[in-house]
Structure 1
Amino acid sequence: MFVRRAVRFILYSIMAVVYAFVLGSLLLFHGPFPAVRQYVIDSLETTMHGYLLEPLALDTLPEKVIQSAKPHLRDIQQASTHVVRENFLHSKTTAVRIETYHGSTYTADIMFIPDPTRVRVGVTKYIGKFGMTLSEMLNYYHAIGGINGGAFQDVQHWRGTGGSPQGITIMDGKVITDQQSSNQTVIALTNEGQLITGPYTLSQLQKLHVTQALTFGPTLVQNGQGMIKNGNGGWGYAPRTVIGQKSDGTLIFIVTDGRGIHGPNDIGASLLQMQNLMLRLGAVTAANLDGGSSSTMMYNGKLVNQPTDVLGEREVATAFLIFPAGN
């Protein structure tokens, strides 16, 4: 009798979960909540997990909606690959500074790194298998701070394992991945500490003496001008990670909250808001990095922001890491 009741309870529980999922999916994607529906779609696109949209919507959305949410690493408007070379090898100031900025829909943690040559790309040591959290990368590479980096593919589908970087990845001059595409945005640092961003090929990066690079995008600021001319950038509102550089070489890391983690007013930032904040801070170059639950900032062994992933820090494939002065 007990076994029969237990089996019945389990079956009823499974049926209830399935019913709730189906009902929730239909209400979300076909109910009277267009703003919420678009927010979910934008969030999936922002975090490069648009492939989840089809199963979440029970294969009921038009194909054009499914395709629009799939990963896109292209620039909002085509960034130039012509740059004026700068040399920031002789930066005198080394102190890292952190500030907080409150926007209308988000709160941002902003880190200023006066010496850009202290920043390098970190890559998961388990490449091809799974990623590492930012804190694990800091410990592994003996770095003192950093932010999450670029695009990655889940080796174990849907599980966010972050094992395989997408696009072009260069660490300390060594090419880690070389998946070239004509419209993918590469965010890179030259051997002289200059931040460049645009649809570069590997040969172009090598001619510019790039030693650190990863892929995401889009480019937000180039030559001191904002790249978003219409709308808000097209990816809705979400937690963001952004990198930029001022004319004196200072690198700017920005990570925002979102998804209501600090209250209903903190839904996240649009790409336009990140562009405008970078311009306000004096950035002459800036680009968007992987956002959503990947967005993480650390300094001196402590989390600066609160990641939105329910498990805390998310495993990622790459990061921009800050090393001690003189290293």
Structure 2
Amino acid sequence: MSPAHPRSRTRRSRTRRSRTRRALLTGALGVSLLVAGTGAWAMDRYVIDHVEVADVSAYEAAQTGTTVAGTQSGDAAAAVLTDTTYDSSDASITISTVTTGSGQDTVTYYVADVTLTDATVLRSAFAQDAFGLNITQDTSDIAAAHGAVFAINGDYYGFRTTGIVIRNGVVYRDEGAREGLAFYTDGHVEVYDETATSAAELLDAGVWNTLSFGPALLRDGQVAAGIEDVEVDTNIGNHSIQGAQPRTAVGVIDDNHLLFVVVDGRSPGYSAGVTMTGLAQIMADLGATTAYNIDGGGSSTMVFDGQLVNDPLGKGTERGTSDILYIAG
């Protein structure tokens, strides 16, 4: 067979190179579109606000037939507020600071010992007074908008689409997925399996508020097993809650007698944070029989009398969250 003419070989070589370039460009374009599509999806899912209920206060009033007002003038006169305590006919709150360890192992945490005369005095509020995904606001700002004398961050329900969300006696979401915490109108609080019930059943049983995060830290006063291995979510950037971290927990001493603890962290020399087991032990040492972990990290925040009690991440500033638990002043 005669060898191909040099020009023919050149043309075929150019054709192959052209096809290769087109393939590479097509592949690169496909990857770019895929990345852009993934980025757009992630932005939409985890960044852009998705409001489902725009005026929660009005919505709850319509659902329950009641409105939430500030403390009546007679009660206000009876309330006594100091730098670390609050006493009224509805609630008694004592704030204390605890520091343990030294040097790089120093841990600083804040305890609110709360006794209620009516379980419904402990309320929930959403960022921007709206329910939905990715809606955030600083804990102190949400607290101020609702006249709260005391508040902590909630469970950051707005970062996920699952969980049972009942707030102030109103159902907002019914997608059981994990271990939840239920506050009842009779004053008792219990850990429950979201997948074994429904929001309607919980409401009928007298549930006032739920939190959907976890895990449970204490059961019958004992540190719960396996808490260092729990993954609350499988969302982007939120796979694990292990290690020494800033944390927030709710503890139960008795009916209408609660503990709220915020541990600062990621600030060596001031507060290194604690592991999940360390948090459980703090709650046990404080006398809690049941305790439950909620959103932590930069969200861990306690507010009292309009002031930030703790120092999130050692920066003196807050990170927006989707919800709070609070007591009005």
TM-score interval (norm. to shorter): 0.5 to 0.7
Q: What are structure 1's unaligned runs of at least 5 residues?
A: 1-50, 52-90, 155-163
Matched, 1:286 2:303: no
Structure 1 letter corresponding to 2:248: T
Pairing partner for 1:190 from 166, 184, 188: 184
Query: Could you tell me which residue of structure 1 aligns to residue 317 of structure 2?
Result: 312
1:193-239 deviations in Å (ceiling 9; x for gaps): 21212323324422431011121100011222221368687711100
Q: Flag the 1:188–1:225 CA change in 2: closer, same or farther, 3 A.
A: same
For 2:99 and 2:187, the matched residues in 1 are separated by 29
Percent identity of the aligned residues?
A: 29
Task: Output the CA distance in 1 between the equivalents of 2:89 and 2:255.
Answer: 11
Is this contact kept in 1: 2:92–2:114, CA < 8 A? Answer: yes
Aligned AA (2:312) = P
Matched position secondary structure for 2:143: helix
The partner residue of 2:126 within 120, 123, 126 is: 123
Kindly indicate whether the alpha-carbon contact (under 8 Å) linking 2:249 and 2:291 is maintained by their aligned counterparts in 1. Answer: yes
Which residue, 299, 303, 321 being the options, matches 2:304? 299
Q: Which residue of 1 aligns with 2:98?
A: 101
Q: Where is the helix percentage greater, Structure 1 or Structure 2?
A: 2
Which AA in structure 1 matches 2:223?
A: G
Aligned length: 223
Bigger mean CA deviation after superposition, 240-249 or 281-290 = 240-249
- The aligned counterpart of 1:238 is 245
Equivalence map 1:140-151=2 (5 Å): 140-151=145-156
CA distance in 1, matches of 2:210, 2:227: 28
**1:187–1:205 distance in 2 versus 1, CA, 3 Å:** same
Q: Evaluate the alpha carbon distance shift between residue 149 and residue 165 of structure 1 in structure 2; reply closer, same or farther with a 3 A threshold.
A: farther
Give 1:323's match in structure 2, choosing from 316, 322, 328. 328
| Pairing of 1:55-204 with structure 2 (within 5 A) | 94-104=91-101, 105=105, 106-115=107-116, 117=119, 118-124=121-127, 125-128=129-132, 130-154=135-159, 166-181=162-177, 184-200=178-194, 201=197, 202-204=199-201
Q: What letter matches 1:171 in structure 2?
A: R
Match of 2:47 in 1: none
Q: CA RMSD in A?
A: 2.8
Residue 215 (str. 1) matches residue 212 (str. 2) = yes
Task: Note the C-alpha offset of 1:176.
Answer: 1.6
Q: Give, as a single letter, the amino acid of the residue that structure 2 aligns with 1:247.
A: D
3-state secondary structure, aligned to 2:310 = coil
Provide closer, same or farther for how the CA distance between residues 220 and 140 of structure 1 changes in structure 2, counting only shifts above 3 A. same
- Give the counterpart letter for 1:237 in structure 2: A
1:153 CA drift (Å): 4.4
Partner of 1:271: 276
1:266 Cα deviation from its structure 2 partner: 2.3
What is the rounded CA distance, in whole Å, between the counterparts of 1:253 and 1:275 in structure 2?
A: 12
Do the aligned partners of residues 309 and 150 (structure 1) sit closer, same or farther apart at CA in structure 2, a change above 3 Å counting?
Answer: farther
TM-score, structure 2 length as denominator?
Answer: 0.61
The aligned amino acid for 1:174 is V
Partner amino acid, structure 2, of 1:292? G
Return the letter of the residue paired with 2:138: T
* SS of equivalent residue, structure 1 residue 308: helix
CA distance in 2, matches of 1:320, 1:165: 20
Q: Tell me the SS of whatever aligns to 1:259.
A: coil
Contact 1:151/1:166 (CA < 8 Å) preserved in 2? no
State TM-score, norm by structure 1: 0.61
Letter in 1 for 2:250: I
Contact map agreement 1:240 1:257 (CA 8 A) in 2:
yes
Measured after TM superposition, the shift of residue 264 of structure 1 is: 3.7
Amino acid at match of 1:235: Q
| Cα shift at 1:286 | 0.7
Q: Is the counterpart of residue 256 in structure 1 residue 257 in structure 2? A: no
Are 2:266 and 2:314, in contact at CA under 8 Å, matched by a contact in 1? no
Q: Go from structure 1 to structure 2 and tell me whether the alpha carbon gap of 1:232 and 1:281 turns closer, same or farther (over 3 Å shift).
A: farther
Which protein has the bigger strand share? 2
- CA gap 1:188/1:165 in 2 versus in 1, 3 angstroms: farther
Instruction: Supply the AA of the counterpart residue of 2:206.
Output: H
